[in-house]
Amino acid sequence: MSNNALRAVAARISEQAAAHCEAGDIPGFVAGVHHAGEQIVVAHGVANVATGAPMLQDTGFLLGSVTKVLTTTLVLQQVERGVLDLGAPVVRYLPELALTVPGAADKILVRHLISHTNGIDADLFFPDAKGRYALKTYVEGLASGCGTLFEPGEQLSYSNGGMIVAGRLLEVVTGLSFSDLLERDIYRPVGMTGSSTSAEQAILRSTAVGHFLDPDTMAARPTGMFTLPDTWGPAGGTPIGTVADLLAFGRTHLAGGVSPTGARVLSAGSTALMQEVSYDMDTPNVPPMGLGWVRYPFGDTTVLAMSGASPGGVSILCVMPEHDLVFAAFGNTPGAIMLQDELLRWLLTEHLGVRIPALISEPEQDVDLTPYVGTYRSDQLRIDVSIVDGRLEERVTYEPADASQEHIFTEFAGGATSAPPQRYVPIRPGLFAPAGYPPETFDGYLRLLLVSYHDLRDGQARFRNGGGRLTRRA
C-alpha cells in the first residue's frame, strides 16, 4: 500500500470530523488507521468544551466496552497458563457466585461469561463501590438483586454482568486487582503507553471528557460524571487509553497474538478462538459473537468490532484480518457513533473496495404483529409493545432498583432516562426497523437499531432483542 492511499484516508477522516465538529454534533474527535504496515492518527476539535483544551492525536479517553475484548484476552491468557478452563463452571473458582434464582449460577461456564451467553440479568446493575474490592462487592450484590434471562448457552444477550464476573474471576485466580492485571498483562506487553485505569492517572495527561447535547440550547455540555463506578471496570467503566493504544491492541490480534513490541500476548490458537463464531442468533440486527469480539459481516468481509459507550462519549475498535487493517476512533458525544459508522463504511467501500450488500430487503406486507405485543422486562427495564396505526409501538421505562443506581444511570445517560414512544415497521416476521429511516441506514454498525423477536411459543414471542440485549416477556 502506498503512503498516498493512507494520506487520502487521513484527509477523509479530517474532512468528515471537521464537518461534524463545526456543525456542533461533536466537540472533538480522534481516529486512526493502521493498514499494511503504515499508520495515521487524526484529531480535530476540543477534548473539553469547559476548558477549550484541544483534542490531540495522543489525547486519552475512556475505552468503554472496547475493554471487553481486553478482559477476554486476559481470560484466554489464564486458560493458556492452565489456571482457568473455559468449559468449567465459574463456581469452581468463584464459589460465592449466586443469583436470585437458586442454582442458576452453578450452570454458568467460564466460556459463557465472555461469549455473552451467560443469561445473567444485570445489564443496568450499577452498585457504587471503589477500590480493591469493588468487583467483589459487585458479585455479592448479584445474589440479592439479579436473576436470569435464560439458561446459560440458550440465547445471546450482550452482557456487562458476565464481563464483570469474569474480571472478579481473574482477580481470584491471579491474586491481583483487575487494574494491576490489565497493566501487567495487556498494557505493558502490547505497548499501550498512554493507558491507565483511573481518573487520578488520566488527569496527569491530555484526556477527553464526554459531553451531552443540552436539549434546550442544543449546545454540548460536559458530563457530570467522568467514569462509571469501579464495579464496572472489566465491562468498560474505568480503562482509559489513546487511539495509538487501541491500534496497537488491534494489531496484536491481527498478528496472531504478537504485539507491535514483539511480545507474545496470546497464542495464535487463542487469538483465532476469539475470532471464531461462538454463537449466532441468525438475525441481521445481532451479528455473530466470537469470544469478546462481535463479528460484523459486510458482504464477504468480517469486521471484528466492539464499540464502547462512556458517560458522554463513544469509542470504537475494528479489526479486519482479511485486509490487514485496524480502525480506532473516539468522539466526545454519544452521537459520534454516526460518524464512526460513516468512516467505517467509507474505509470498507472506498479504501478497500469491499462491496457492502443491502442488509435488509424490501419490507414484507401483511406481517401479523400480534405475537410481539406485550410487556418485556430485564434488570430495571420495562418495554411495553402495542399496535398503533398498523405498526408496533414501543414504550421504554427505566425502573431503578434504588436511588444510588438511579443517580449513576441518570448521569451515564446525560440526565435523560425516558424516551418518547418509538414506532417500528415490519421487515419480515420477527424483524422490525424504526420508522422513518431509509433502509441503507442499517447496512453498517447501525444495524443495532433494528429490533427482533425470538422463540415463538403458543403464538407469542418470548424474547425481544434491541441493541444486542434481550428482554423477556413478563
| pLDDT(365) > 70 | yes
Helix (H) or strand (E) holding 92: none
> How many domains does the chain divide into?
2
Same domain, 161 and 219: yes
Q: Is residue 330 within 8 Å of 318, Cβ to Cβ?
A: no
Percent of the chain at pLDDT > 70 equals 100
- In whole angstroms, what is the distance from residue 70 CA to residue 160 CA? 14
C-alpha to C-alpha distances, 463 to 200, 211, 286, 371, 466, nearest whole angstrom: 42, 33, 13, 11, 10
Please state, rounded to an integer, the average pLDDT across all residues of the chain: 95
pLDDT tens profile 172-198: 999 999 999 999 999 999 999 999 999
Same domain, 238 and 320: yes
Same domain, 336 and 378: no
Helix axes 67-80, 243-254, angle to 10 degrees: 40
Give the list of residues 6+ apart from residue 44 with CB closer than 8 angstroms, or none.
14, 17, 18, 21, 28, 29, 30, 55
CA 202 distance to own-chain centroid: 21
Same domain, 319 and 399: no
Residue for grid cell 420495562: 382
Residue 466 in any domain: the answer is yes
CB atoms within 10 A of CB 371: 16
- In whole angstroms, what is the distance from residue 407 CA to residue 398 CA? 12
Q: Is residue 260 within 8 Å of 247, Cβ to Cβ?
A: no
Same domain, 469 and 333: no
- The model's confidence at residue 1, banded by pLDDT at 50, 70 and 90, is low
CB atoms within 10 A of CB 306: 22
Sign of the dihedral defined by the CA atoms of residues 127, 129, 135, 137, in that order: negative
Residue 385 in any domain: the answer is yes
Same domain, 209 and 238: yes
Same domain, 255 and 399: no
110: domain CATH number?
Answer: 3.40.710.10
pLDDT tens profile 122-159: 999 999 999 999 999 999 999 998 999 999 999 999 99
Domain termination residue (choose one: 324, 357, 390):
357
Q: What is the pTM of this model?
A: 0.97
C-alpha to C-alpha distances, 281 to 2, 91, 287, 471, nearest whole angstrom: 40, 27, 8, 15
Taking every pair of Cα atoms in the chain, the longest distance, rounded to a whole number of angstroms, is 61
**Mean pLDDT within 383-411:** 94
Domain that holds residue 424: 370-473
| pLDDT(333) > 60 | yes
- The confidence score (pLDDT) of residue 4 equals 84
Same domain, 77 and 160: yes
- The confidence score (pLDDT) of residue 293 equals 98
- The model's confidence at residue 418, banded by pLDDT at 50, 70 and 90, is confident
pLDDT tens profile 431-474: 999 999 998 999 998 999 999 999 999 999 999 999 999 999 99
DSSP class of residue 264?
Answer: B
Same domain, 399 and 320: no
Same domain, 47 and 73: yes
